[in-house]
């Protein structure tokens, strides 16, 4: 059942080991600091990494910026998520389309995270998985920008 009093937000990427757990951790820390009550979670559209921790490169880049990804364990999206979360935020267009197919017009309609958060560009959160270390640092900065937008939205009456 959807939580009505505390808003709930689900971040979704492909593997749930890089982008969405990073955004979840940044949001958890910044919402707590801002005194915003929100229920946060993340998942992947793919099943390859279910039960595993975040990618060690992502864990390191996040730790360098002060975010703890150590407790994270990957999970795959489930159809109940569309009923359970007020916002279902996809990191990129491919994952958005996968979510739209799973949802079958019931529950919360998924949207792209960065445009929803008011980040002017890029629309899609680049996947750092196949890139170099700089991509993981860039991912942290982009997650922070997106989370600032999220907080601004959550503060709106």
**Residue 57 makes contact with ligand 4NP by CB under 6 A:** no
Buried b (16+ CB within 10 A) or exposed e, 43-66: bbbbeebeeebbbebbbebbeebe
Contacts of 49 (CB under 8 A, 6+ apart): 15, 16, 17, 74
Q: Encode 94-108: b = buried (16+ Cβ within 10 Å), e = exposed.
A: ebbebbeebbeeebb
Nearer to ligand 4NP, 7 or 42 (CB): 42
CB of 86 to ligand 4NP, least distance (A): 22
Distances (CA, A) of 107 to 79, 84, 96, 97: 9, 8, 15, 15
127 is catalytic: yes
CB of 32 to ligand 4NP, least distance (A): 23
90 binds ligand 4NP (CB under 6 A): no
Only one of the segments 12-20, 75-83, 96-104, 109-117 lies at the binding site for ligand 4NP (rule: CB under 6 A); that segment is 12-20
24 binds ligand 4NP (CB under 6 A): no
Cβ at position 49, least distance to ligand 4NP in Å: 6
Instruction: Indicate the residue among 13 and 25 with the shorter CB distance to ligand 4NP.
Output: 13
Q: How far apart are CA 103 and CA 96, in angstroms?
A: 10
Selecting among 55, 84, 92, 127, the annotated active-site residue is 127
Largest CA-CA distance found in the chain, in angstroms, rounded:
41
Residue 64 annotated to the active site: no
Chain residues in the site for ligand 4NP (CB under 6 A): 13-19, 44, 48, 127, 129
Catalytic residue annotation: 13, 19, 127
């Amino acid at each position: 059942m959807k939580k009505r009093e505390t808003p709930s937000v689900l971040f979704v990427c492909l593997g749930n080991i890089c982008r969405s757990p990073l955004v979840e951790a940044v949001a958890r820390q910044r919402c707590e600091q801002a005194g915003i009550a929100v229920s946060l979670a993340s998942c992947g559209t793919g099943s390859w990494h279910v039960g595993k921790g975040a990618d060690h490169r992502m864990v390191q880049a996040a730790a360098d910026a002060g975010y703890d990804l150590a407790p994270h364990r990957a999970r795959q999206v489930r159809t109940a998520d569309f009923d359970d979360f007020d916002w279902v935020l996809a990191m990129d267009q491919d994952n958005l389309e996968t979510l739209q197919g799973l949802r079958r017009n019931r529950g919360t309609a998924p949207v792209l995270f960065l445009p929803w958060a008011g980040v002017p560009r890029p629309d899609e959160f680049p996947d750092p998985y196949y890139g170099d270390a700089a991509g993981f640092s860039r991912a942290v900065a982009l997650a922070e920008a997106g989370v600032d937008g999220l907080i601004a939205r959550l503060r709106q009456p």
